[in-house]
Amino acid sequence: MARQTSEVESVDAPKYAALSRDIEECKREPGTTLDMLHAVQRHFGYLEPQAVGMVAEALGLTKAQLYGVATFYTMFFFEPKPPVIARVCVNLSCHLRGAQEILHTLEEAAKEQHDAFEVEEVMCLGLCEQAPALLVNEEAVGQVSAEEALEKVQASVAGSSS
């Protein structure tokens, strides 16, 4: 058991080191708490507890205090996620243009593929003129049919595993 943990730690060591540098950079300026949490998620894919601890220490907060802040915001994840996340907007402008079909198609496909990607229902993404719209990780995708949306997601899944 102990050996396994240290192996995991050594695999993650560069991530912690990179995070450390990000934290140092953020610390030089005011108002960077969320940026530090974004950095954790960028390196680990979610708010990995030990990394959150590093941020808490840098800010002079307890981990509980920092989690109290982080849980307010919907973009932060508290458990590991698949490499691809599709955020599908379900608000009015997208709803009127077929958001439910996209959501349904993606959810079915995710189930079939044993959660190779994750589908999230999200509120307006500010892409309403491109409705129906979604974000595939950081990429904005709009004015698509359900099939085209799925293709985009599949391409992203393929790209992330290669």
Judged by the rule CB under 6 A, the positions of this chain that interact with ligand FES are: 89, 91-94, 124-128, 131, 133
- In DSSP terms, 89 is beta-bridged to 122
Q: How far is the C-alpha of 87 from the C-alpha of 136, rounded, in Å?
A: 6
- In DSSP terms, 139 is beta-bridged to 136
The 3-state DSSP class for residue 88 equals: strand
Which of other proteins, ligand FES, none interacts with 96 (beta carbon under 5 to 8 A by kind)? other proteins
Q: Any idea which residue has 């849980």 for tokens?
A: 71
Q: How far is the C-alpha of 31 from the C-alpha of 36, rounded, in Å?
A: 10
Cβ 93 to other proteins, closest distance in Å? 4
Which of ligand FES, other proteins, none interacts with 35 (beta carbon under 5 to 8 A by kind)? other proteins
Q: Which is nearer to other proteins, 112 or 129 (CB)?
A: 129
Cβ 94 to ligand FES, closest distance in Å? 3
Out of 14, 49, 68, 159, which residue is the one contacting other proteins (CB under 8 A)? 68
- In DSSP terms, 120 is beta-bridged to 87
Q: Which is nearer to ligand FES, 54 or 135 (CB)?
A: 135
Of 122-141, binders to other proteins (CB under 8 A) are 122-131, 135, 138-140
Who's near 114: CB < 8 A, 6+ residues apart? Answer: none
Supply angle C-alpha 10, 46, 78, rounded to 5: 120
Does 72 interact with other proteins (rule: CB under 8 A)? yes
- If we measure between CA atoms, which residue out of 97, 145, 137, 138 comes closest to residue 117? 137
Which residues contribute to the site for other proteins (CB under 8 A)? 29-35, 37-38, 59, 68-69, 72-76, 87, 90-93, 95-97, 122-131, 135, 138-140
